[in-house]
Chain A
Amino acid sequence: MQISGAQMVIEALIAEGVDTIFGYPGGAIMNVYDEIYKQNKFHHILNRHEQASVHAAEGYAKASGKVGVALITSGPGFTNAVTGLADAYMDSIPLVVISGQVPMSLIGTDAFQEIDAVGISRSCTKHNYLVTDAKDLPRVLKEAFYIAASGRPGPVHVDIPKDVTAQIEEFNYDIEINLETYKPNVKGNTRQIKKAMEAIAKARRPLFYLGGGIINSNAAYEVRELVHKTGIPAVETFMARGTLSYDDDLLISMLGMHGSYAANMAMSETDLVIGLGARFDDRVTGKLSEFAKNAGVIHVDIDPASISKLVNADFPIVGDIKNVVLEMLGLSDLIDADKYKTWRSNIKNFDELHPLTFHEDSDRLKPQWVIQRVGELLGDSANISTDVGQHQMWAAQFYPFTRPRQWISSGGLGTMGFGFPAAIGVKAATPEKISINFTGDGSILMNCQELMTAVEQKLPVINIILNNNFLGMVRQWQTLFYDKRHSETDLSVQPDFVKLSEAFGGIGYRVHTKEEFDAALKDAVEKNVVAFIEVLVERFENVMPMVPSGGSLFNMMLLEKKEKK
């Protein structure tokens, strides 16, 4: 059929099965918005900032496993969205972000709201396109969805000049994608997998090192089976939370800078690291030369560039986690789970020596208590998004995760302002779950305009603000490494968060005690409208344990007595 470029965008989204998109209109994308007005096949959510649109699309993608879609205009609309693209790129989140561009005839003339969008997005997307002819649009959009979701997922940016959205051409979406230059290897070399399993059978202290790739691959349940069959203990990265259930005997905890003592000690003592979809991030490894120093390394990853990038892999396996783990399961008879009994009990001892815990020794509530309490009250019924800072680490440490895609947080870029819009996207994707955003008094102000979106769209996100009147994570580093010079991190001056929420039509609570907290959470869940629950928490609490930046995993700062004010 002969249709305009703008109509092609709509038709392509429908053909891709998209049910919700996030966006913000403007001059260069108006033709597409005009077509959105005329259709009713998918729902458009108007965020109140383009950065929020992309974060919402990320939250939607992470919670649903589908490709998230955002639509924005040229110039400032696009530049506002860049943080979201970078965030999705770092965390391997599949997105298609479509931006308007000035008409072809004006490109390169410093036209109104012109910016070299593909030039900017090149380094923070998996791939990008500037579409110069509407004839290419069906192919480009189809490729964009395919590239975003396949292999190592990531954001794809499609920039469309305004005249191309007006151009009328033949639309046929029933085309085959033929990318001779892009063929992700998903299978995993069978011989190499066998060798890896033999190495595991020989090892005395093997350790599963579970990463976010497992979630991308929808392989958490297969991984659970492999862990249980082999009896090999497991640590999770921040991105992998929820792969194993919190109460799984074989799950040690998160490892890394703010990982548990037992997890980091296990990684330091293991003789064979079994890495599944994890990328040996510096927050995980600490000092590289001391990381798992005496261990062999099996590394399964779909991206060959992740393998032996930082830590040399003795058994590199390029493939999709699910395929590889299924093959491993077929060989699990090679492995005798009893053999690792002593190893498991050593790890138990580590955990008993320094468990992941906190002291309730202050007048104000402890932030960790709040996280734990939400876990007790809501548990599996909630999806948990976060902003960035101490509250984020406590959420990763203390929330009782029970399933994959329950945990939505910005790991690689660490983007303050991610949480609230992401939680909106999460709610849109999984309305049957309660959408919680653990946030800080700093972070919440970077995208609090999304109160309007949540109210308008009736997406009742519950924002739990752990208010320490500080940019707490930075304050912690200043306390520990800058001789307590708390430069520009004191947030004593604050808005009235309750009124702020109410001003947009949400509800708000200010909470000082445990009883008040329970009541507020219960009320917010019942009222089912967007909420701010501001919890006044201990100001000087530090996230512990902590591996100081560049230190070795086994040299942790451990839970200390309360710091003097």
Chain B
Amino acid sequence: MITENSERRVISVIVVNEASVLSRITDLFSGRGYNITSLTVAPIPESRYSRLTIVTSGSVRVIEQITKQLHKLIPVLRVYEHADLVEKEMALIKFPLSENLSDISTLCAAYNGKIVNVGENVIIAMVADEPVRIENFLRVIKKYNPKEIVRSGAVALER
């Protein structure tokens, strides 16, 4: 039986590097009412393809339709809907220089990160970890008054 519970899913899409391929993908999501939580894209080295990692959510039926509809697009080579995967996301955070730097530095280290830039009034820290852990990190560092946060969106590889 098909369940209608909405689940988070990571889908990787290998596409031909060509004009407007990204709009084809995003148009498909908006046109058919699917969610995009995050989307990352970069060329695959030494090939004419790019890899997109899309974090989405939907019922099993919707996820199945998403993968099929993606596959139907002409420039799409492959669609992987990941079950067992390694997922990472990066975040950059700007803190006021007045905050406790050694606390921040220790926290970052616990999330595969460090302070990457120190300016006159602010420092910039970087962390790279599983998306859920990034969420966690961002919750914890609230008390250090982050001025700006940039998340990269998830990238993933099948184990």
A249 to B72, CA, bound (A): 38
17 of the cross-chain contacts (CB-CB < 8 Å) are A118-B20, A122-B20, A122-B23, A122-B27, A123-B31, A126-B74, A130-B19, A132-B19, A181-B16, A181-B74, A181-B76, A181-B77, A303-B72, A304-B68, A304-B72, A305-B68, A305-B72
Contact with B along A130-171 (1 / 0, CB 8 A): 101000000000000001000000000000000000000000
- By the criterion CB–CB under 8 Å, are B75 and A181 in contact? yes
Roughly how many angstroms separate A127 CA and B27 CA in the complex, as a whole number?
A: 13
Interface mask (A282-303 → B, CB under 8 Å = 1, otherwise 0): 0000000000000000000001
* Interface size of B in residues (CB-CB distance below 8 Å): 20
* Extra A-B contacts (10), CB below 8 Å, given A122-B23, A130-B20: A122-B20, A123-B31, A147-B74, A179-B74, A181-B15, A181-B16, A182-B74, A304-B71, A305-B71, A309-B65
Task: Decide yes or no whether B133 CB sits under 8 A from chain A.
Answer: no
The answer to whether the Cβ of A308 comes within 8 Å of any Cβ in the partner chain is yes
Tell me, in angstroms, the Cα distance from A123 to B64 when the chains sit together: 20
* B61 CB-CB contact with A under 8 Å: yes
Give the distance in Å from the alpha carbon of A308 to the alpha carbon of B1 in the complex: 12
B24 contacts A by Cβ under 8 Å: yes
Q: Tell me, in angstroms, the Cα distance from A459 to B105 when the chains sit together.
A: 81
A172 in the interface, Cβ–Cβ < 8 Å? no
- Mask of B13-41 contacts with A, CB within 8 angstroms, 1/0: 00110011001100100010000000000
Q: What's the Cα separation between A180 and B77 when bound, in Å?
A: 7
Taking the closest CB of chain B, its distance from the CB of A180, in whole angstroms, is 7
Q: State the CA gap A123–B71 with chains docked (Å).
A: 15
Q: Which residues of A contact B76 (CB under 8 A)?
A: 181
Q: How far is the CA of A181 from the CA of B72 in the complex (A)?
A: 9
Query: What residues of B have a CB within 8 angstroms of the CB of A181 in the complex?
Result: 15-16, 74-77
Residues B20 and A305 in contact, CB atoms below 8 Å apart: no
Q: How far is the CA of A434 from the CA of B53 in the complex (A)?
A: 55
- Is A122 within 8 A of B69, CB to CB? no
Instruction: Please name the residue on chain B nearest to A122 by beta carbon.
Output: B27
Q: Is A495's CB within 8 Å of the partner chain B?
A: no
**Contacting residues, chain B, for A182 (C-beta < 8 A):** 74
List chain B positions with a Cβ less than 8 A from chain A: 2, 15-16, 19-20, 23-24, 27, 31, 61, 64-65, 68-69, 71-72, 74-77
Bound CA–CA A123/B72 (angstroms): 13
Q: Is A119 an interface residue (CB 8 A)?
A: yes
CA distance A123 to B75 in the complex (A): 15
We find that the number of chain A residues with CB closer than 8 angstroms to chain B is: 19
**Is A312 close to B, CB under 8 A?**
yes
In the bound complex, what is the Cα–Cα distance between A127 and B73 (angstroms)? 8
Q: Report the nearest B residue to A156, measured CB to CB.
A: B74
Q: Which B residue sits closest to A182, measured CB to CB?
A: B74
In the bound assembly, the distance between CA atoms of A308 and B74 in angstroms comes to: 21
A 303-318 contacts with B by CB, 8 A: 303-305, 308-309, 312
Chain A residues in 8 Å Cβ range of B24? 122
- Distance of A181 Cα from B74 Cα, bound (Å): 6
Q: How far is the CA of A309 from the CA of B67 in the complex (A)?
A: 12
Residue of B nearest to A307 (CB): B68
Does B23 contact A119, Cβ atoms closer than 8 Å? Answer: yes
Give the docked Cα–Cα distance between A252 and B3 (Å): 34
* Distance from A418 Cβ to chain B, minimum over Cβ atoms (Å): 23
| Bound CA span A119–B26, Å | 12
- Shortest C-beta distance, A94 to chain B (Å), equals 15
CA–CA, A123 to B77, complex, Å? 19
B74 touching A305 by the CB < 8 A rule? Answer: no
Shortest Cβ distance from residue B73 to the other chain A in the assembled complex, whole angstroms: 8
Residues of B within 8 A of A119 (CB): 23
* CB <8 Å contact, A312 and B2: yes
B26, chain A: closest CB distance, angstroms: 10
Give chain A residues whose Cβ lies under 8 Å from the Cβ of B27.
122-123
Contacts of B20 in A (CB 8 A): 118, 122, 130
Q: How far is the CA of A305 from the CA of B24 in the complex (A)?
A: 17
- How far apart are the CA atoms of A303 and B16 in the complex, in Å? 21
Q: Kindly report which residue of chain A lies nearest to residue B76, judged by CB atoms.
A: A181
Residue-wise interface mask of A (94-125) relative to B, using a CB-CB cutoff of 8 A (1 in contact, 0 not): 00000000000000000000000011001100
Closest to A304 in B: B68
Chain A, range 175-191, C-beta contacts under 8 Å to B: 179-182
A122–B71 Cα gap in the complex (Å)?
A: 15
Cβ of A164 to closest chain B Cβ, rounded Å: 14
Interchain CB contact (< 8 A) of B74 among A127, A132, A304: A127
List 10 tightest A-B contacts by C-beta distance, closest first.
Answer: A305-B68, A127-B74, A181-B77, A182-B74, A123-B31, A304-B68, A122-B27, A305-B69, A305-B72, A181-B75
Closest B residue to A308 by CB, please name it. B64
A123 to B29, CA, bound (A): 11
For A180, what are the chain B residues with a Cβ–Cβ distance below 8 Å? 77
A132 to B75, CA, bound (A): 17
A308 to B20, CA, bound (A): 29
Q: Which residues of B contact A303 (CB under 8 A)?
A: 72
Give A461 Cβ to nearest chain B Cβ, in Å: 35
Nearest chain A CB to B67's CB is how many angstroms away? 9
Contacts of B77 in A (CB 8 A): 180-181
Q: Across the interface, which residues of A come within 8 angstroms of B2, CB to CB?
A: 312
Contacts of A123 in B (CB 8 A): 27, 31
Contacts of A179 in B (CB 8 A): 74
CA–CA, A182 and B72, complex, Å: 8
Q: How far is the CB of A435 from chain B (nearest CB, A)?
A: 34
Residue of chain B at shortest CB distance from A128 = B20
Whole-angstrom CA separation of A119 from B20 in the bound complex: 9
Residue of A nearest to B18 (CB): A129
CA distance in complex: A91, B31 (Å): 18
Whether B61 and A308, one on each chain, are in contact in the complex, defined by CB atoms closer than 8 angstroms, is yes
A333 CB to closest chain B CB (Å) equals 34
Query: How far is A391 from B12 in the complex, measured between Cα atoms in Å?
Result: 48
Q: Bound state CA distance, A309 and B64, in angstroms?
A: 8
Nearest A residue to B19 via CB reads: A130
Q: List, in ascending order, chain B residues with CB within 8 A of A118's CB.
A: 20
Q: Kindly list chain B residues whose C-beta atoms are within 8 Å of the C-beta of A309.
A: 65
Cα(A118)–Cα(B21), bound, Å: 12
- Closest-CB distance, A230 to chain B (whole angstroms): 30
| Cα–Cα, bound, A409→B15 (Å) | 36
